[in-house]
Amino acid sequence: MGSPSITLRCDCGTEGRAQFGERWTCPSCERSYDTGQIPAADYDAIRALDRRYRVISWVIVGVMALIVLAVARTLQVIPILAGLAVTLGGWFLYVKPIIHRRHRAAVGKLTRRWELRPE
């Protein structure tokens, strides 16, 4: 699982993304920003939260896949297709938006506006 990237906004208004510890150079004004100035504890907390929500999502998908496989063992085409449609519809319409909303809110509580100084 990759680490979440950091969105940077230059003083000139240009935005870019970089990983923690990388340098980002603004393409328009050539200012350079070092994301290593961000406290490591803050970034690690965000990374752990991101990892936890990804694992939770994969576990839920796995459980839903097991349910579909259990229905598939009946070898009846209509229940298999109906079960698959209900499972996918439930995932994309209800479960995934709830997980993403909670994740966004949890990251929002941890995220701060760091003032990085250009070098």
pLDDT in tens, 46-87: 889 989 998 988 998 898 888 878 878 888 888 788 878 888
Own/partner long-range contacts of 50-54 (Cβ < 8 Å, ≥24 apart): 50/1, 50/3, 50/4, 50/103, 50/107, 51/1, 53/99, 53/102, 53/103, 53/106, 54/1
**Higher confidence at residue 117 or residue 95?**
95
What single-letter amino acid sits at 56?
I
What is the residue-averaged pLDDT of the chain? 86
Checking if the pLDDT of 113 tops 80, the result is no
Does 93 score more than 90 pLDDT? yes
Q: What is the mean pLDDT of residues 12-34?
A: 89
**Domain range summary for the chain, segments of one domain joined by +:** 1-38, 39-111
Amino acid letter for position 10: C
Is pLDDT above 80 for 1? no
